[in-house]
Chain A
Amino acid sequence: MTHRRALGIPAALGVLCVICLLSLAIGALPLSPAAVWHGLTDPASSAYPVVRQMRLPRTVLGLLVGAALGVAGALMQALTRNPLADPGLLGVNAGASAAVVTATALFGISGLGGLIWFALAGAGLISVLIYLIGGSGVGSPARLALAGTAVNAALYAYVGAVELLDTDALDRMRFWTVGSLADADFPTVTRIAPFLLLGALLAAGCARPLDALALGDDAATSLGGRPALTRAVAILAIVLLCGAATAACGPIVFVGLMIPRLASRFTGPSLPRILPYCAILAPVLLLGADVLGRVVARPAELEVGIVTAVLGGPVFLLAVVGRRS
């Protein structure tokens, strides 16, 4: 077991490196490996604009957003004690979308600098709501998921109403609400990185106390934990991670659901051990889906949000149907 654990992280990192290389090498413009290398290093190369200015920021953004969604999903599942909790399914990402649509259509704000605050506020509001519904540990997975569906429906009705009143907003937002990495650039990456870093630090800090909470509030308190503080920190981490990720590339579902489930197969239920795997494997999934989206619809591409929804659905269904209930 220890042996397997020691090998697990390097193996996952290896897979991640391969996916990153694929993400740099594959796209609408076919390039040889040598051309990719020159494009990465040599500003005079003809491939430089494609590789260095489009594929590299896209890959980096995919890494960051994927890791954020994976870690947020793991935290959410621990916090709600619900194996089917996912920021996308429970409406956190939709909350960020609704806030961003409001900012775009009603206040005319554009550009990530202003939108990110709205996204964080929207994600925060919905996270607290979801926590209030599911955090007490009384809700069954089906009930929490139903509540999430209803919250999602309300938010999308609102987004739809705003878009209908303003066709320009519809034209801009219909691409954003899909969830895409296509418009990535380095300013976006640097803009969201501080939020993600802070979120990741908070997540690492509250992993162990959250594990203790799984024993129940009384047991956690007697072990020296502070349940209310732990939950507040976990919610703050989820909000930072999901809000910033959604602001950068739109709402993406299922990444936060699938990866923690997969990771816990390797590690068992311990959250401090699950989180590093999530941070490595979730970008593998997101970038893999992104590369797949570039390959299947060549020379056009499928947005990564569409690929994760269509791929993630069957995984979710298998998880549900295979469960002994």
Chain B
Amino acid sequence: MSRLVTAGVTASRRRPVLVGVGCVVLALGIALASLEPGSLFTSMTSADVFVFEQLLLPRVLIALLAGASLALSGAVFQSLTRNPLGSPDVLGFTQGAATGALVGVTVLGGATLVVAGSAWIGAVASAALVYLIARRGGVTGGPRLVLVGIGVAAMLGGVNDYLITRANISDAAQAALWITGSLDGSTWSGVVLLAAAAAILMPPLILASRALRIFEMGEDLAVGLGLRTELLRLSALAAAVVLAATAASQTGPVAFVALCAPHVARRLTRASGPNLVPSALVGAVLLVAADWLARYAIPDRELPVGAVTGLLGGGYLAFLLAQQRRTGRI
């Protein structure tokens, strides 16, 4: 009996590691495939070198980093809202980023850097607004946060509709592409930015997974166990939003990576708790794979990566809703 238990414990500890290693191998494999390695071994013209170094390589690196950032942020939100459908969208993230990007495109001229900056500001500002409205007497209950986020998102949606209808059609198309999420404009400066954000924000979040696991047990219990829940909620929300906003400033708010990656990770590791590192790795795999699909799924036609994740994620969501309902979690 005890051997069985020990074996079970070892297996449950080994599994996340195996999943992690598998994800890294898979991500690198798809990344290499997207880099079109055949051309590396033949003689490359200077144009090929340029395409490889300035277009393909940053694109793949951004996909890896943005996927990991969005997924980690989603895992933190699912933990904090104690709901399998939590994602930065709970704080009006997508709509806020879209408002920022639309203002950048229609009012401020639409230069890449300007759009990225205004989208970042839009996302972070809307999240801060939602947090402040939901806060009462120094506490933000989980459900209230979710509902306030939905209200603010709906209002920002109205503002976005207004901006899109008032724009000329080329601005509207640029904004629509940005809102969907695309890796077309990837640059090395974007890679550096995302890497820096990941290096600064990911380690503290990962260190907080123990506290998050206690938090998931319920507000009262967490307080009873000595956790400062409001401090944890505020700091984890802030770090996760900034991480996701930085990723979105380079790629647009790519749909469903934040929502789906933690589920896939949990299904693979079968571990309880927030599962942060596996989620981030799965997110990186998902985004690189989605980008590969987006480039090759329709011959002669490149889809934006957000369209692929949106469609795949929608299907997964339907499955998830059906299943969660059966187990009574929604």
Cα separation A129 to B90 with both chains bound (whole Å): 21
B153: chain A residues within 8 A (beta carbon): 149
Mask for B300-316, Cβ within 8 A of A = 1, else 0?
Answer: 01011011011101100
Contact between B173 and A141, CB atoms less than 8 A apart: no
Decide: A149 near B169, CB < 8 A? Known: A157-B313, A313-B151, A316-B154.
Answer: no
Size of the chain B interface, CB-CB below 8 angstroms:
57
Interface window among A36-44, A264-272, A298-306:
A298-306
Mask for A302-320, Cβ within 8 A of B = 1, else 0?
Answer: 1101111110111011001
Contact among A174, A179, A320 with B147 in the assembled complex (CB-CB below 8 Å): A320
Residues of B134-156 contacting chain A, CB below 8 A: 134, 136, 141-144, 146-148, 150-155
Contact between B147 and A138, CB atoms less than 8 A apart: no
Contact between A309 and B146, CB atoms less than 8 A apart: no
Decide: A170 near B158, CB < 8 A? Known: A320-B144, A325-B141, A325-B143.
Answer: no
Contact between A142 and B146, CB atoms less than 8 A apart: yes
B154: chain A residues within 8 A (beta carbon): 88-89, 253-254, 309, 312-313, 316
Contact between B155 and A158, CB atoms less than 8 A apart: no
Interface window among B18-26, B58-66, B174-182, B273-281:
B174-182
Whether a CB of chain A sits under 8 angstroms from the CB of B9 is no
Across the interface, name the chain B residue whose C-beta is closest to A317. B151
Whether a CB of chain A sits under 8 angstroms from the CB of B86 is yes
Contact between A150 and B144, CB atoms less than 8 A apart: no
Mask for A176-199, Cβ within 8 A of B = 1, else 0?
Answer: 011100000000000000000000
Whether a CB of chain B sits under 8 angstroms from the CB of A151 is yes
- B interface secondary structure, majority: helix
Whether a CB of chain A sits under 8 angstroms from the CB of B12 is no
Contact between B136 and A151, CB atoms less than 8 A apart: no
Which among A150, A158, A165, A323 has the highest number of chain B CB atoms within 10 Å? Answer: A150
Cα separation A43 to B319 with both chains bound (whole Å): 58
Whether a CB of chain B sits under 8 angstroms from the CB of A163 is yes
Whether a CB of chain A sits under 8 angstroms from the CB of B1 is no
Contact between B176 and A160, CB atoms less than 8 A apart: yes
**A284 smallest CB distance to B (angstroms):** 20
Cα separation A165 to B298 with both chains bound (whole Å): 11
Contact between A149 and B89, CB atoms less than 8 A apart: yes
Size of the chain A interface, CB-CB below 8 angstroms:
57
**B241 smallest CB distance to A (angstroms):** 16
- A interface secondary structure, majority: helix
Across the interface, name the chain A residue whose C-beta is closest to B304. A164
Whether a CB of chain B sits under 8 angstroms from the CB of A5 is no
Decide: A151 near B317, CB < 8 A? Known: A164-B180, A317-B148.
Answer: yes
Cα separation A153 to B153 with both chains bound (whole Å): 11
Across the interface, name the chain A residue whose C-beta is closest to B141. A325
Whether a CB of chain A sits under 8 angstroms from the CB of B133 is yes
Contact between B152 and A174, CB atoms less than 8 A apart: no
Whether a CB of chain A sits under 8 angstroms from the CB of B325 is yes
Contact between A143 and B180, CB atoms less than 8 A apart: no
Whether a CB of chain A sits under 8 angstroms from the CB of B99 is no
Contact among B94, B146, B164, B172 with A145 in the assembled complex (CB-CB below 8 Å): B146
Across the interface, name the chain A residue whose C-beta is closest to B142. A142
Across the interface, name the chain A residue whose C-beta is closest to B149. A149
Decide: A147 near B85, CB < 8 A? Known: A153-B255, A160-B307, A321-B133.
Answer: yes
Mask for A133-147, Cβ within 8 A of B = 1, else 0?
Answer: 100101111110111
Contact between B321 and A147, CB atoms less than 8 A apart: yes
**B152 smallest CB distance to A (angstroms):** 7
Which among B155, B180, B256 has the highest number of chain A CB atoms within 10 Å? Answer: B155
A149: chain B residues within 8 A (beta carbon): 85, 89-90, 150, 153
Contact between A138 and B328, CB atoms less than 8 A apart: yes
Cα separation A187 to B303 with both chains bound (whole Å): 38
Contact between B318 and A129, CB atoms less than 8 A apart: yes
Across the interface, name the chain B residue whose C-beta is closest to A175. B165
Contact among A132, A138, A316, A321 with B322 in the assembled complex (CB-CB below 8 Å): A132
**B311 smallest CB distance to A (angstroms):** 6
A163: chain B residues within 8 A (beta carbon): 176
Whether a CB of chain B sits under 8 angstroms from the CB of A167 is yes
Contact between A146 and B146, CB atoms less than 8 A apart: yes
Contact among B133, B143, B314 with A158 in the assembled complex (CB-CB below 8 Å): B314
Contact between A161 and B307, CB atoms less than 8 A apart: yes
Contact between A84 and B310, CB atoms less than 8 A apart: no
Contact between A158 and B311, CB atoms less than 8 A apart: yes
Cα separation A158 to B307 with both chains bound (whole Å): 7
Contact between B325 and A143, CB atoms less than 8 A apart: no
Listed in ascending order, the chain A residues whose CB lies under 8 Å from chain B are 84, 88-89, 129, 132-133, 136, 138-143, 145-151, 153-155, 157-158, 160-161, 163-165, 167, 170-171, 174-175, 177-179, 253-254, 302-303, 305-310, 312-314, 316-317, 320-321, 323, 325
Task: Please name 11 pairs of A and B residues whose Cβ atoms are closer than 8 Å in the assembled complex, sorted by A.
Answer: A132-B325, A146-B86, A146-B90, A149-B89, A149-B150, A149-B153, A161-B303, A161-B306, A309-B159, A313-B155, A325-B141
Closest 9 CB pairs of A and B: A157-B310, A309-B158, A313-B155, A154-B314, A161-B307, A142-B143, A316-B151, A320-B147, A178-B161
Extra inter-chain contacts (20) besides given A146-B150, A321-B144, CB under 8 Å = A132-B321, A133-B325, A133-B330, A136-B325, A142-B83, A142-B146, A146-B85, A149-B85, A149-B89, A155-B314, A157-B180, A160-B180, A306-B159, A309-B157, A310-B155, A317-B148, A320-B151, A321-B136, A323-B144, A325-B143
Listed in ascending order, the chain B residues whose CB lies under 8 Å from chain A are 81, 83, 85-86, 89-90, 94, 133-134, 136, 141-144, 146-148, 150-155, 157-159, 161-162, 164-165, 169, 172-173, 176-177, 179-180, 255-256, 259, 301, 303-304, 306-307, 309-311, 313-314, 317-318, 321-322, 325, 328, 330
